[in-house]
Amino acid sequence: MTQIVRSTAKTRTKLTTLSKLTVLISAIVPLLASLLFLAPPASAATLREVTGFGNNPSNLRMHLYVPDRLASRPAVLVGMHGCTGSGPYFYSSTEFASLADRYGFIVIYPSATRSGKCWDVSSPQALRHDGGSDPVGIRSMISWVTRTYGADTSRIFVTGSSSGGMMTNVLLGDYPDVFKAGAAYMGVPFGCFATTDGSGWNSACANGNVTRTPQAWGNLVRAAYPGYTGARPRMQTWHGTADTTLRYPNFGEQIKQWTNVLGLSQTPARTDSPQSGWTRTRYGNTGDQAPVEAISLQGVGHSVPTTGMAARTIRFFGLDG
């Protein structure tokens, strides 16, 4: 009799426990379902190629990255690869696309098509407003994007490394009416790589042997768009002291050029070291969006941008708001 009572008690305990589990599960399942329903969808943004974007005299290719969460009237950034590179390579090897995801701007990744995949920063056509060659094709890409996505034409920016850094200088000179600011990694001044023999390489400039006065450098920029009297874009430039491809003196020559173009003193308004081995000088004012900002990288070779640098460029552009 005692065993029967104990068995009955155990059965009741099991039934009670089972009942509690049933109630608990019935409460959890709807909660999980609601959480799954509310969870954000996986990112659908991908790099895609655009064709037929307009006047393109040098047959450039255009790749485009549009984030899932696009800002209203988004800004546009042009990201320029170096020699032997491509737009997709610059997309995958830099942090600009992930920053676009965060801040809602569009990134254009052009690709050079000539032998060596370097940009034309040397020919007379490339160094003149609407003169032809690569700058005209890049300008067409920007026009296509602003029309297609209703982008803010007052917030167009450009950045690039090596040959792309050179092209950043060229685009700011050719199209001051288009760009708000630029950031050149390992570049050279506008017009420094100019040649008259059809060659795309200027050894004297690459080796840091071309020096001019600030006025002479500024005159080269002003001559690219005769008669232009509007606002000029701000410039950020980065260079490693151990760069043996586009040597370090080009860093100082860019500072001379763009401070002159913007009518600034050659004396920095502020000098600091935001990171070990970095020396940052700002010209015109001391803030994050100074007219000219220059970052010298002690002991660094031809290898930038590296982790974290793109975010500082986005801050300089004012796109991190």
Looking only at the bridges linking them, the beta strands covering 278-283 and 61-65 are: unpaired
φ, ψ of residue 255 to 5 degrees: the values are: -60, -45
Out of 58, 86, 133, 162, which one is annotated catalytic?
Answer: 162
CA distances from 110 to 122, 140, 151 (A): 18, 11, 18
* 162 catalytic per annotation: yes
* Identity of the residue numbered 14: K
Instruction: Give the C-alpha separation, 43 to 37, whole Å.
Output: 16
The answer to whether 294 and 273 have CB atoms below 8 angstroms apart is no
Q: Is the peptide bond before 305 cis (omega within 30 degrees of 0)?
A: yes
What positions carry a catalytic annotation?
162
